[in-house]
Each structure stands twice: as C-alpha cells, then as structure tokens.
Amino acid sequence: MNTPTRRRLLVAGLASLTLLATACGSDSKSTTTTTPTAAPSTAAPATTAASSTSAGGTATTHAPATTAAGTATTAGAGATTTAPKKVSGQLNGSGSTFVQTFVEESIADFTKGNSDLTINYGGGGSGKGRQDLADQLVDFAGTDGTIKDTDLPSYKGGAVLYFPVVVAPITVSYNLGGVDTLKLSPATIAKIFQVQITNWNDAAIAADNPGVTLPDQAITVVHRSDSSGTTSNFTKFLDSAVGSKGDGTWTLGTDSTVAWPANTQAGNGNGGVAQIIGSTKGAVGYVDYSDAVDAKLTFAQVENKAGKFVTADLDGASAAAAGATVADNLTFSAVWADGDTSYPITAQTWIIVYQKQTDATKGTAIKAFLDDMLTNGQKIAPDVNYAPLPAALATKAIAQLDKLAIG
C-alpha cells in the first residue's frame, strides 16, 4: 500500500540524482537518502501503510487532523505552509528510527524545491545519533531522549539546541492467533518484560481481559538491541507507572539500554523488533506506531494514568503531548500523561543541532530544513502516522530558530 506522501517520496527519489536510496540498520523503513560514511547502516525497503491498525487489529483510515488552531491535534500548530527556501550543499544526519519515516518524508518534500541540496539520514538509534553529533560526524541527529548532563562536555561543537518535531505512540505489539483484542495494565506489561509472566494464559493477563479466551502459548519477549530512545521512553513509562515512581513492580530502571533477561530476543531498530514479532508466534514487543502500522502488527490497549484502557493512535498521542510541561530548552516528556484519553506510552522526538554553526552553508541549510519540518512538515506528519506538535510548542520551536548562530 502506498500513501500519497510515500508516492511523493518515491517520485522525489527518482527525480533527483542527489537523493540516493539507503537504509538504517535492520530497520524496515524505506529511505530516499544516503547514509553518512561515518554512520553506515542497512535495511530492507518497506512500504508505508495508508491506514493504522487498531488494538483489535482492524485497519482504520488516518486522515490529517483538521481541528481548530491551538488544539492538540492541529497540524503544524496552525503553521502556514511556506515555499522552501533555496539552499544548497549537503547535510548528514543519523539517529532515531522512531522518527525516521517522518524525517525521510520531510527530506523528500523539502528537497523537491532545493535540487542543489542533498540530505542524508541514517538511523541506528537515538544513542548512535547523539554520539555521532557529539563526535561531529553528522550535522544533525534525531533523538527521542535527552542528552545526559554527564555527556554534555563530550559534544565537540559546544551547546546543543533541541527542536521537537512530532509525537507518536509506542505500541505494545503482539502475535497471538485468535486474540484480536487484548488489554494490558502497566503491572502486567512489566511482569511480561521481566519474564515473570511467561505464558499468555497467565492469571494476570486473564484478569486484564475478562471473557477473552487466552491460548496456552509461551511468550517471547522482544526488545531493542541498540541504544534506543524508544527503549528509554518505554521503560520510562514502566518506571513511572509501576517502578521507582510507582509500586516497585518494574525493577529494570529506565535508559536507552537496560539489562533485559537473558531469555529474550533483541532486534535492531524499531523495524527489527517489528520483524521478529511478525514472524514469531507468541511474541510481544514495543514498536513505534509508524513501524507497527507498516508491519501490519496487532497491538494492545494499554491502561493509562486515569485507569482507562486506550488504543495506540495519534489522537491519544496528541492528548498526552498537550498536557506536557515544556522546559525552556524545549525538552519534555509525554509519557504517563494525565487525561482520560491520553495514550500512556507516547514518545516525543527532537532534531538536535549545534547552536553555533561554523559552516555558513550548512548552517543556512539546517535552519531552512528545520523551519520546513516545523511548518510544512507538520501538515504531512499524520500521513506517515505521526501526530503534529501542539500549537504552543510548535510556536516556541519556530522562534528558537533565531538562536542558531550561523558562520
């Protein structure tokens, strides 16, 4: 299946010899960009589904948000569409696979009007992106987590700016024949991923799903193998709900990597996790919404902070982001948000760049590309299964472009 934007991506890839096909790790997302030499990765192409998969496994069409400006689901926070600024040169980026499809779509859309500009994005995970930027191997990085204070001195280019671009759910996807609807509480999810619950007919899962016939099927837990913002946000959800900030059920902490039990499986990138789940009966894992839809996975309804079981979708992500507290540097967390309709495992993602851009050509191109993602890009985000930023946050991000010191 092809969405209109995916078709635009393919046309753009054919129209410009400066945009070459590449891939990211073992991620299933397709790309129209070349991978930076310093951050090589590989992947098999995949098409983007035109619809989203509900918790019951039913495909439902996702149309772009059309609510009034200022509401959580407003595309681009009411931002106006602008003609791409004419820039040239080459930009290299790496990092988050969670946001990769949106970045690729933004690249294709922006470079249609800038044929003298090449933008390369290789995935590899948020941790890789942050490290590549620290080492000045790339010009920008995608990350779903923030830089640790202890790591800031290692960034060779100085101060870093965070530009939020989209939000989206992290699904709890599963492969369980005959079970089209599944509800999971945070405590049950924690016990599954700590391998304290090992069979799908366990009493704890049955308690979350009265009236549902659960098979006598062993559970295969799947997680990320790389340093991942998706892992960071998934474990932050568990830590907030039932870990150090809850009743202590979750004991593995929260970080880009955690010490998963030995009898679990690991996949590289969100696409790698999705592939294992799709091909393994009884599997369960955490996968970003875009990849889960692309892979046609079925995902569970997850109990939120208000005690409601909520389907992973863009409306739930928007509701979670709308109530987030945003710091002066535009960092925030949409995980475990208040609200009856908030999806509890909503991840935010940023493009991070150095505040001081010593190369004027690159700096001008980065500023123009970021501006396009924060305006035009917000309007195409729902087409590739991401929720645009809330109005106030997008406005702050656009204003922060003035902080970039170029040349």
The Cα 326–Cα 167 span in angstroms is: 14
Listed by start position, the domains of the chain span 4-46+67-166+348-406, 170-322
Scored b (16 or more CB within 10 A) or e, 244-271 reads eebeebbebebbbbbebeeeebebbbbb
Helices (H) and strands (E) in the chain, counts: 12, 16
Q: Are 120 and 31 in contact (CB under 8 A)?
A: no
Give the CA-trace dihedral at 139, 366, 127, 355, to 10 degrees.
Answer: 90
CA atoms within 13 A on the CB side of 380: 24
Which of 165, 162, 79, 154 lies closest to 328 in space, CA to CA? 162
The Cα 120–Cα 95 span in angstroms is: 11
CA 64-143-128 angle, to 5 degrees, is: 135
For domain 170-322, give the CATH number. Answer: 3.40.190.10
Q: Are 385 and 289 in contact (CB under 8 A)?
A: yes
Contacts of 98 (CB under 8 A, 6+ apart): 126, 142, 144, 168, 170, 229, 230, 270, 288, 290, 347, 349
pTM given for the model:
0.81
- Structural tokens at position 116: 């003298």
The arrangement of secondary structure in 4-46+67-166+348-406, i.e. its CATH architecture, is: 3-Layer(aba) Sandwich (3.40)
DSSP codes joined into one string, 301-329? EEE-TTS-EE--SHHHHHHHHHTPPPPTT
Give me the residue label for tokens 């005690």: 307
pLDDT at 83: 53
Q: Are 173 and 277 in contact (CB under 8 A)?
A: yes
| Per-residue pLDDT reduced to its tens digit, 156-192 | 999 999 999 999 999 999 999 999 999 999 999 999 9
Q: Are 203 and 257 in contact (CB under 8 A)?
A: no
CA 405-83-74 angle, to 5 degrees, is: 90
Give me the residue label for tokens 């999705």: 274
DSSP H helices, 170-256, are: 186-193, 203-208, 229-242
C-alpha 358 chain-centroid distance: 29
The Cα 123–Cα 399 span in angstroms is: 27
| Per-residue pLDDT reduced to its tens digit, 104-115 | 999 999 999 999
- Number of neighbouring beta carbons within 10 Å of residue 392: 12
HEC profile of 131-192? HHHHCCCCCEEEECCCCCHHHHHHCCCCCEEEEEEEEEEEEEEECCCCCCCCEECHHHHHHH
pLDDT at 84: 53
| Per-residue pLDDT reduced to its tens digit, 352-372 | 999 999 999 999 999 999 999
Q: Are 52 and 3 in contact (CB under 8 A)?
A: no
407 residues of the chain, pLDDT tens digit each:
334 333 333 333 333 323 333 333 333 343 333 333 333 333 333 333 333 333 333 333 333 333 222 333 334 444 445 555 689 999 999 999 999 999 999 999 999 999 999 999 999 999 999 999 999 999 999 999 999 999 999 999 999 999 999 999 999 999 999 999 999 999 999 999 999 999 999 999 999 999 999 999 999 999 999 999 999 999 999 999 999 999 999 999 999 999 999 999 999 999 999 999 999 999 999 999 999 999 999 999 999 999 999 999 999 999 999 989 999 999 999 999 999 999 999 999 999 999 999 999 999 999 999 999 999 999 999 999 999 999 999 999 999 999 999 98
Backbone phi, psi, residue 265, to 5°: -115, 150
**Secondary element (H or E) of residue 100:** helix 100-111
pLDDT at 86: 86
**DSSP assignment, residue 50?**
S
Is it true that 4-46+67-166+348-406 and 170-322 share their CATH fold? yes
HEC profile of 333-370? CCCCCCCCCCCCCEEEEEEEEECEECCHHHHHHHHHHH
Q: Are 245 and 255 in contact (CB under 8 A)?
A: no
Sign of torsion over alpha carbons 213, 275, 61, 311? positive
